[in-house]
A = this chain, B = another copy of it.
Amino acid sequence: MAKLGNDGLAEVVAKYPKHFVGWSALLPMNAPEAAAKEAERALRNGANAIQLGTNANGIPLDAPQFLPIFEVIAKSSKPILLHPARTRDMPDYPTEKYSKYEICSVLGWPYETGVTLARLIFSGIMDRFPDLKVIAHHLGGVIPYLEGRVGHSFDQLGARTSDEDYGALLKSLKKRPFDYFKDFYGDTAVEGARAATVCGIDFFGADHVLFASDCPFDKEKGKGYIRDTIKVLDSLALSDDAREKIFFRNAQRLFGLS
């Protein structure tokens, strides 16, 4: 199925070059070895990115069986498009079985995006593959707003835990946790929220933010978020250089587009 899908995308992009500048591959994450092979095949076949969910059937991405996948992607120098994948089967309280009121996606998606970035750091995956490029949708999930906690709180990792030696883990990392978070990329898909856009660009910097809109999930089935996001970006005091990077140069560079 993944092969069919990925080959289909390659075909459509080749056929309609004026509509599509590239494509991103999906992997059969339920079969990690096959997923690594398919990643390799798709990238050789021209995939401009690999899209990964923030979990695979409920399993976090830092599970050992997924390591070969990261190895293949890191070698390719193409980015990961990290998309949230939480369902209501992940409850919000330990006494419940399901997440209620669609909280799992409205709030849970940006949360799980942030959690996954943290797990990629603390599991050692980012140290193992320092050139791995991860684009976290929705402007990094919750991370930019939690800049203070991601900085100061993770600097004290281990201070509040007694049964795991997180202090030793912290020391074993090659960088300050905060610096890994800053090295990730975000996209501007925050549904046209201006203050959040400013906060996210402040956190990642103009070199690490790519235009995106969350199309088609607005009431107009797509046009609304595209228009609102462009409007917000146009309203910011960005230099021409920063503006061009966010609107297309970062995408050209990361996805290998001309």
Contact = CB atoms under 8 A, between A and B. Distances in A.
For this chain, the copies found in one complex come to 2
Nearest to A93: B60
Interface string A152-185: 1111111011000010010000000000000000
A146 interface: yes
Interface in A137-160: 138, 142, 144-158, 160
Interface string A217-254: 11100000000000000000000000000000000000
By Cβ-Cβ distance, the 10 closest A-B pairs, closest first, are A148-B191, A145-B145, A148-B193, A195-B202, A58-B94, A147-B193, A199-B199, A101-B122, A195-B199, A111-B111
30 contacts: A60-B92, A60-B93, A60-B96, A89-B94, A90-B93, A92-B112, A101-B122, A102-B161, A105-B153, A106-B118, A106-B150, A106-B153, A107-B114, A107-B146, A109-B149, A110-B142, A110-B146, A111-B111, A145-B196, A145-B199, A147-B195, A148-B191, A148-B192, A152-B191, A152-B217, A152-B218, A153-B191, A156-B219, A195-B198, A195-B202
